[in-house]
Structures are given as C-alpha cells and as structure tokens.
Amino acid sequence: MIPIFSLQECVSLAMVVAWVVLLSFCKADPASNREAAALLKWKDSLPNQSVFNSWVSPIHTNNPTPLSPCRWYGITCNNAGKVNQIDLPGKGINGTLENFDFSSFPNLVRLDLQRNNFGGSIPYNIGMVSKLQLLDLSTNSLDGSLPLSLANLTLLSKLDVSRNQITGVLDSRLFPGESSTQPKIGLLSLKYLLLQDTQLGGKIPQEIGNLKFLVTLVLDKNHFNGPIPPSFGNLSHLQILNLGNNQLSGNIPSTLATLRNLTDLRLLANNLSGIVPNELGKFSSLTALRLEDNNFTGRLPPQVCRGGKLVNFTAESNMFTGPIPISLRYCPTLYRLGLQQNQLTGHIDEDLGVYPNLTYILLSFNKLRGELSPKWGECRSLALLSIAGNMISGKIPNEIVQLDQLEKLDLSSNKLSGEIPPQIGNLSKLAFLSLQDNQLSGRIPERIGSLSNLESLDLSTNMLSGSIPSQITNCHKLRTLSLSKNKLSGTIPDEIGNLSNSLHDLLDLSYNSLSGEIPEELGMLSGLEKLNLSHNNLTGPIPDLLRSMGSLTYIDLSNNFLEGPLPDLKEYRTSPPPEASSSGINLYGNITAMRSCTETRSGERYTRKDKLLIFVVICPLSILMLLSFICIGFLAFRMRKKYKSINSLPFSLRYVRSKISYEDILEGTQNFDDLNCIGEGGFGKVYRAYVPGHDLLAVKKLSYESEMENAKHVEKEVAILKQIKHPNIVKLFAFCSREIHKFLVCEYMERGSLANMLKSEYTAKALDWGKRIQVVKGVANALCYMHHDFVPHMIHRDITSKNVLLDSKFEAHVSDFGTARILNPDSSNRTIVAGTYGYLAPELAYTMVVTEKCDVYSFGVLALEVLMGKHPGELIFSLHYSSSVESMHHKDVLDPRLPPPATQDVDDKLDLIMRVAISCLSPNPDARPTMRTASELLEKGGT
C-alpha cells in the first residue's frame, strides 16, 4: 500500500527534514560553538546588562538548538556561519575587554565598541584577530598603552581609539618599516588613523609616513612634542591632517604643501614657529586651514584660497605680518575667517572681497587701516564682525548696519568718526554692540531701542552728546549698559526701571554731564551687580538704593552733588535683623571703613561738610577672589612671548608649591579653549589643565572685566596666605598676574562643588550618608585650622556649598579665599560685608565687625544643607525664633533622595551634626561654639 499523506502531514514532514538538516549543519560546526562560548564567557565577566539579553546558552533555556551566536544582538556571521562582525556602539556597556578571548575569532573583520564605558587596557591578544579591518574603541575609558601586538593587524584599514585615557608613546614598530625586503608587518593598510583626545605623548614617529594608503590622520588633543615628520610628504592620499592641541615645535615641513589631496590641515595650538610654506594651497584645494595659537612669523600663505574651496581659515594669535592673503579677494566659499591678534597690515577695504557665506570675521588687534567698505553689506550671512583694536577710520557705513543676521558687532578701539547710523535699529538679531573708544559724535540714535535682542551695549569713550534716549530701555534683554566717558547731558531716564528684569551686570554712566536727581526707579534694578554714576552733575538726595538693590557688589556715586542721608545698609543681604539692631548706627563711619578695600582710589576728598560726597564701593567679590590664595615665590619669570600683541606687557607667574610654567598652563588648557572649561563664576571661567607631572590642575582665569585694581593688596595677602597647608583646603600652585591672562592654578577637584553634587539627583545619591559625614567633618577641620592653628588666624567669610569642592574620594576641600581676612586682635575688623546671601550671620545686619563666629554661622548653614540636600532656607529663621528646637528630629530634615541611614551609628552621627549645626546658627554670636569645639564634637561622635 502506498501511504497517503495529507497536505498537513506533508508540511510537517518537510519541517522535520529541514530541522534535521539544520541541526546537523550546526552541530558540525565547532567553531561557532567556540565563538559562542567565548562571547558568553566575556558576557559573564561583565555586570549584568540588558544589551546582552539575547546572548544566552541553550543550557539555560532548555533549547535543543545548538549553540550559535549568529543571531545574538550585535553579532554578524559570514556565509560560513562564523562571527565576522561585532557591533555594539553606543550602548553604555560597562566592563573591560580583559576576558574577551580574541583568539576565538579568527574571522573577525569588524569590531565596533565605540561610545561605551569600557575601562582597563586594550589586551595584548588583540593581535590574534589578524583579519581585522575595522577597530573602533573610541569614546570609552580605556587606559594603558597601545599594545605592540596591533602591528599584527596588517589588514586594518581603520583604527580609532580616540577619546580614551590611553597613555605612552606611539611606538614606531606599529608602523611598517621602510625596507621592502623584510616581512611585512605593521599597520600597513591603514587608511584612517584616529587617536584624538587621549594621553599619548612623545614624538610622532616618522614611520607614519610609510602608511601609503593613509587618508585621514587625526592626532589632536594629545601631548605629542617634537617636529612634524617631513615624511608626511609621502602620504600622497592624505586628505585630513589634524595635529592640533599638542606641543609640536619646529616649522611646517615644506613637503606638506605638495600633498595634492590635502583639504583639511589643522595645526592649531602648538608651539610651531617659522614661516608657513608659501605654496600651501597652491596644489590642493584647501577647505580648512587652522594655524591659530602658534608662533608663526612671516606672511600668511598667499595661495590659501587658490583652489576656491576654502571654508574656514583661522590663524589668530600668531606673529604674522604683511597683508591679508591675496587669494582671499575672491574666495566666495569663505565661512569663517579668524586672523585676530597678529600684526597684519594693509587696507581692509582693498584686501577683502564679498563673501555670501561669510558668517564670522575676526580681525581684531592687528594694524589694519582703511575704512569699513559698504560692499560688506553684501556679506548677507555675517553674524559676527569684530575688527576691534585696529586703525580703521571713516564712518560706519549704512550698509553694515543692514546685515540682518548680525549678532555681534565689535568695532571698538579704532578711529571711527561721524555719527552712529540710526539704521542700526534694524539689526534685529544683534546681541552685542561695542563701539567704545572711537571718535563717534552726535546723539545716541533713538532707534537703538528697536534692538530687542541686545544684551550688551558699550558706547563708552566717544564724543557722544545729547541726552540718553529713553527708548534704550526698550532693549529688554540688556544686561550691560556702558555710556561712560562721553558728553551726555540731561537726566537719567525714569524708564530705567523697565530694565529691571535684564540689567544685571553693569550700568555705567560715569564721566558724563548728567544732571538732575537719581530717579527712584533706579532702585527697581534689583538684580544689578555694578553701578557707576560717578563724575556727573547729579544732585538731590541719595535714594535708598541698597535696600532694594540686593545684588550690588559695586557702587560708585562719587563726584556728584548728592546730599542727604546715606544708604541704609541694614537688612542688606541678611536675614531678618534681631530687634536690638536698628537705631543709632553711624553709617558714615562704616562707609569710611569700607574704603580700606579701595585704597588705590585715594585722592578722593570729602570737601563739603554738609553736602555729603559719598564714595561707596563694595569690593567686587570677583576682585577679592584674587586675594585668594597666595603666591609666594615672587620669582619673576619672563616667559617666551606667545602673542606679539601682548609682548610688551609685564607679567609674572609666581610659583607657590611647584614649578609650573606659564606655557604649561596655556598648553594644558589649550589656550583656554572652551572645551576645557569646567565652570564659570562671576570672576571668570575655570579650566581644566593637563600639565605633565601634575595630571590635572584647575585654572581660574579672571575675566577681562574683573579688573584687578588692587595688585599691591593682593601681594600682601598672598604673602601671608601662602603657607596654608591643610588636607581640607584647596592647594594653590601658582598665580599669574599678567595683563591678558590673570589666573590662579589650583588642585583639580574631580567632583566639583558640593553645591553641584547636591543639585542633581544622580550625584546626590552618590554622596551617601557616610560621605556626607566626612564632608561636614572636613569643612569643620579646615575652619578650625584657619581660626585657631594657622598664624595669623584667618576668617574665610564666604563659606558656602559652592566654595567647598570634592576630590575623587569625596573628601571636602575649602576653596575661594577671595574674601578671607586676617583676624587682627588689635583692629576692630571693621569691614564691608562680603559673603553670600543665605549664609551670612544675622549680626552683620547691624555691625560691620566680622569675627570668626560669622564663619561658624555659615558652617551651620552648610552642615544643615548637607543633611537636607538643599539650602535650609526658612528653617533657619524658624530656628531663630522658635523654642521648639529641642523637639526637632533629624529624621524630619534628612535628604529624601537618600535611603534612611542603615545603621544606628550613622544615624547618631547625623543627629550630632544637626545639633552642632543648630548651635552654630544661634543668633547670638557668643552662644555659637568655636570651630575648635564644633570640630572636636564632630570627631568625638565619629569614634
């Protein structure tokens, strides 16, 4: 009988046959078994993470299918069923490559693990995957050096290890040798070599010149030194060469100019010098040429835009002389041109053309002459035009003020004359306008009020006359307004109060002929930090500005004809005043006391007895920031001159604890590149600097604005403070007071400020109870040391969570001694109030006498803040006035983002911190403990 099968049975049978065939095929392939086992072994060595969910062995799943990794996530196999690609980019994977058995993947062609969190080093046995063509480990946390076994990867076409912590040198044995008789070894197939932003150093091996297929070579942001190998002239396919941000020296080899396919050449921020090859750009079509921040001399390469494709050309901060390159006259592709801070000569109206795409043009601080050309009105894309500090003359053409994309216009310090064109009101995107230090005359156009995006307006030091147009107050984003040193007359417009939401940085109307009374409305500028109305003809009473203008750090009303009661400093920046405070305080005396911080401004005279001439300057915290720390050494150190434009200025870098050169800092911060900026404060920016032998340093660069008028004072304080050495106080290494770059070099604190740690939920959780207890103790120790052990005794005066920094181990370090004072037993310690609202002791509302108990109070605020995870705010006031402090329980205030303390011991310590903090917050300074007592109490609780 012939068996009859139904259709259904047929299908089932076919499937069974298919399975059997498939199974036998798979079972016969031990290689994929080995690969799968290797992958599983690696997976098991890593923390459990969902990206590997599909990587499972059948033993766990009871799946009868034999082990094949081909369908696992991120794995690709070739036709023979062998793993040839592993692609797991950007999955945030944690772990190491330590247990990755490279020898199990003889067919691997592609390994892409970029943008994960792999740590540890690159294993030596990576040399076993000898068929590898692509290896991308970029953007991980790999450290150690590049294993020499990489030289085994002779088929590798792309090697990208950028953005890791790789150290050591680039071993020349990684690259093929010159002789063709020896067996071929080395990365001889490389087309793309990317080693950007690692810690590699040493010389760049000339053997790279033997990589004859190389198209892209990116070595920027490393520590390479020595010359650029002339052998690069052999890299005939090279298109991109980026060696920026290293410490390379010597000339640009002339052979580079012969590379016909070179389109992008970046050599910025090195120590390169000499003349740039004249022929650069002659044989190739450059799209980007970046030479800035070197020490090049001679002319800019005249052929730079000969190929007609140049997009970005920057060469600022060198010593280039001569004219703007002739090929730039016709270069329609130009997008960005940065030639500032050189010594270029010539006439801008003749040497520059019309560029439809030009967006940034920076020519400031050269020796350029000529007039602003009306034809620039055709550069319709221009967003930033900066030609400050040249010798540009003539009028501002109407065409320039019709560039409707313009966001920043800086024509300051030139010889411009004539009036400000009223059409300037059309620049609807303009945010920054500086015409200061010219010879502009006429009135300030009313239409300036149409600049609705304007944030900074500086028309100072001109010959402008007439009154201040009230329309200016329509610029509702204005943060900075300076009209000083003109011939302005009339009154201060009442409408000034309209700017209350924006005018926060500066209002400077000094050195004019303004008359009338100071409008009450000025007091509405509650966010303003600096106010200067000095040297005018203002009359009438002094409004009670300080009461409402709580953010002022600087006020100068001197040289006017003002009279009447002085500003009431009570309540200024403090918590509610205790009852005893108010009456009969001699504010006059206090104000003279304030002058101590402005000694250099002597020569002020109180001429009239009844008409009180006031001079109130509350030292800008930013200036005092400098008093910070220290600086000893007084080793004047002439540095190699980096920028010619600032060559003549005297400067010095003082060593405090360590030899660090000015150049180390410029290089370490990559010339204060924003990439290295790690924070910003009122005083300027903080940068991270990689300095050999110091790892990381923090460099606080004071902004140009934070003028340092009090240099002598700084040195005095610095000499005293230099000896502070305490594990909980940030170390200062050096201090530079050069005109252009003023900065302090300090220890780098990996975890930033306590305030920032507490702000984000993620970091606040990392700061567990144990660490928080340590932080409070650390701050207490630092203050105890300053108040009692260090001679002379010091008060910090600005203890806040912003000024406590944490290192990698969460250890607290007190910083920012900008406001610190010597506690002199002979003097009354009368001083102007400094410090931060919310941390100031209440007695400062009615007395100017600062004692160490003010620090104790601030410490109390800080300790509560650490417990609560946020500033205690109103709670402090309720402590002042309530008698139920005793009943308060620490559990009610603890930061809810952390789990409750796990042990009784931790719980007790937190309770102790709260009790100590409350006693520090007593409104009566005498009732507060000393820091010695507080710190001993905390330590005892810790044993």
Ligand X SMILES: *[C@@H]1O[C@H](CO)[C@@H](O)[C@H](O)[C@H]1NC(C)=O
Among positions 553-592, residues that touch ligand X (CB under 6 A) are: none
To ligand X, the closest distance from the beta carbon of 378 in angstroms equals 21
To ligand X, the closest distance from the beta carbon of 682 in angstroms equals 28
Convert residues 230-259 into a mask of x (bound to ligand X by CB under 6 A) and - (unbound): ------xx----------------------
Nearest to ligand X of 336, 821 (CB atom): 336
* 3-state SS assignment for residue 413: coil
Size of the site for ligand X (CB under 6 A): 27
* 3-state SS assignment for residue 75: strand
To ligand X, the closest distance from the beta carbon of 292 in angstroms equals 12
Beta-strand (E) ranges in 140-234? 158-160, 192-194, 201-203, 216-218, 223-226
Question: Which value, to the nearest 10 degrees, does the dihedral of the CA atoms of residues 177, 181, 182, 184 take?
Answer: 70
Q: Which stretch binds ligand X (CB under 6 A): 87-95, 445-453, 517-525, 591-599?
A: 87-95
Q: Is 226 in the site for ligand X (CB under 6 A)?
A: no
Q: Is 637 in the site for ligand X (CB under 6 A)?
A: no
> Taking CA 42 as the corner, what is the angle to CA 40 and CA 47, rounded to the nearest 5 degrees?
100
Question: What φ, ψ does residue 520 adopt, rounded to 5°?
Answer: -50, -35
Q: Which stretch binds ligand X (CB under 6 A): 429-437, 439-447, 634-642, 729-737?
A: 634-642
Nearest-CB residue for ligand X: 127
To ligand X, the closest distance from the beta carbon of 283 in angstroms equals 11
Among positions 721-780, residues that touch ligand X (CB under 6 A) are: none
Q: Of these, 109, 288, 714, 938, which contacts ligand X (CB under 6 A)?
A: 288
Among positions 851-890, residues that touch ligand X (CB under 6 A) are: none
Q: Of these, 107, 251, 297, 343, which contacts ligand X (CB under 6 A)?
A: 297
Q: Of these, 84, 104, 140, 287, which contacts ligand X (CB under 6 A)?
A: 287
Nearest to ligand X of 358, 420 (CB atom): 358
To ligand X, the closest distance from the beta carbon of 273 in angstroms equals 5
Q: Of these, 225, 295, 390, 436, which contacts ligand X (CB under 6 A)?
A: 295
Task: Please state, in angstroms and rounded to a whole number, the distance separating the CA atoms of residues 798 and 755.
Answer: 14
Catalytic residue among 798, 826, 892, 908: 798
Nearest to ligand X of 270, 436 (CB atom): 270
The HSE-up count of residue 896 (CA atoms within 13 Å, CB side) is: 1
Convert residues 333-352 into a mask of x (bound to ligand X by CB under 6 A) and - (unbound): --xx----------------
To ligand X, the closest distance from the beta carbon of 523 in angstroms equals 43
* 3-state SS assignment for residue 40: helix
Chain centroid to Cα 813, Å, comes to 20
Nearest to ligand X of 263, 781 (CB atom): 263
Task: Please state, in angstroms and rounded to a whole number, the distance separating the CA atoms of residues 210 and 174.
Answer: 11
Q: Which stretch binds ligand X (CB under 6 A): 69-77, 402-410, 559-567, 639-647?
A: 639-647
Task: Please state, in angstroms and rounded to a whole number, the distance separating the CA atoms of residues 255 and 900.
Answer: 68
Among positions 104-143, residues that touch ligand X (CB under 6 A) are: 117, 127-128, 130
To ligand X, the closest distance from the beta carbon of 13 in angstroms equals 45
Q: Of these, 60, 640, 809, 940, which contacts ligand X (CB under 6 A)?
A: 640
State in Å, rounded, how far the first CA of the chain is from the last one: 95
Our answer to whether residue 798 is catalytic in this structure is: yes
Q: Provide the 8-state DSSP code for 277.
A: P
Task: Please state, in angstroms and rounded to a whole number, the distance separating the CA atoms of residues 714 and 633.
Answer: 14
Nearest to ligand X of 335, 877 (CB atom): 335
Task: Please state, in angstroms and rounded to a whole number, the distance separating the CA atoms of residues 143 and 155.
Answer: 24
Q: Is 92 in the site for ligand X (CB under 6 A)?
A: yes
Nearest to ligand X of 153, 507 (CB atom): 153
59: burial class by Cβ within 10 Å (0-12, 13-18, 19+)?
A: exposed
Task: Please state, in angstroms and rounded to a whole number, the distance separating the CA atoms of residues 941 and 928.
Answer: 19
Nearest to ligand X of 154, 345 (CB atom): 154
Q: Of these, 311, 720, 885, 937, which contacts ligand X (CB under 6 A)?
A: 311
Q: Is 94 in the site for ligand X (CB under 6 A)?
A: yes
b/e 536-565 (16+ beta carbons within 10 angstroms → b): bebeeebbebbebbeebbbbbbbbbebeee
Q: Which of 844, 898, 843 is nearest to 870 (CA)?
A: 898
Q: Which stretch binds ligand X (CB under 6 A): 430-438, 603-611, 636-644, 702-710?
A: 636-644
Strand order in the sheet with 439-443: 393-394, 415-418, 439-443, 463-467, 487-489
Q: Which stretch binds ligand X (CB under 6 A): 16-24, 90-98, 651-659, 901-909?
A: 90-98
Single-letter amino acid, residue 346: G
Nearest to ligand X of 605, 640 (CB atom): 640
To ligand X, the closest distance from the beta carbon of 726 in angstroms equals 33
Helix (H) or strand (E) run with residue 312 in it: strand 312-314
The HSE-up count of residue 876 (CA atoms within 13 Å, CB side) is: 27
Q: Which stretch binds ligand X (CB under 6 A): 92-100, 408-416, 458-466, 878-886?
A: 92-100
Residues in the chain: 943
Whether 319 and 297 have beta carbons less than 8 Å apart is answered as: yes
Convert residues 42-71 into a mask of x (bound to ligand X by CB under 6 A) and - (unbound): -------x-x--------------------
Q: Is 700 annotated as a binding residue?
A: no
Among positions 142-161, residues that touch ligand X (CB under 6 A) are: 149, 152
* 3-state SS assignment for residue 756: helix
The token duo for 721 is 């403070």
Q: Is 491 in the site for ligand X (CB under 6 A)?
A: no
Tokens 């750090």 sit on residue? 553
Task: Please state, in angstroms and rounded to a whole number, the distance separating the CA atoms of residues 687 and 665.
Answer: 10
Task: Please state, in angstroms and rounded to a whole number, the distance separating the CA atoms of residues 30 and 726.
Answer: 63
* 3-state SS assignment for residue 435: coil
Task: Please state, in angstroms and rounded to a whole number, the distance separating the CA atoms of residues 464 and 753.
Answer: 45
To ligand X, the closest distance from the beta carbon of 124 in angstroms equals 7
Whether 822 and 847 have beta carbons less than 8 Å apart is answered as: no
Enumerate residues 6+ apart whose C-beta is below 8 A from 847.
Answer: none
* 3-state SS assignment for residue 99: coil
Q: Is 641 in the site for ligand X (CB under 6 A)?
A: yes
Q: Which stretch binds ligand X (CB under 6 A): 4-12, 75-83, 635-643, 799-807?
A: 635-643
Q: Of these, 57, 172, 261, 756, which contacts ligand X (CB under 6 A)?
A: 261
Task: Please state, in angstroms and rounded to a whole number, the distance separating the CA atoms of residues 808 and 791.
Answer: 30
Q: Which stretch binds ligand X (CB under 6 A): 89-97, 193-201, 588-596, 807-815?
A: 89-97
Q: Is 212 in the site for ligand X (CB under 6 A)?
A: no
Q: Which of 460, 450, 461 is nearest to 480 (CA)?
A: 460
Sign of CA dihedral 655, 658, 663, 667: negative
Nearest to ligand X of 107, 470 (CB atom): 107
Q: Of these, 77, 93, 211, 913, which contacts ligand X (CB under 6 A)?
A: 93
Binding site for ligand X (CB under 6 A): 49, 51, 92-94, 117, 127-128, 130, 149, 152, 236-237, 261, 271, 273, 287-288, 295, 297, 311-312, 335-336, 640-642
Binding residues for ATP: 701
Q: Report, as residue numbers or ranges, the catalytic residues.
A: 798
Binding residues: 701
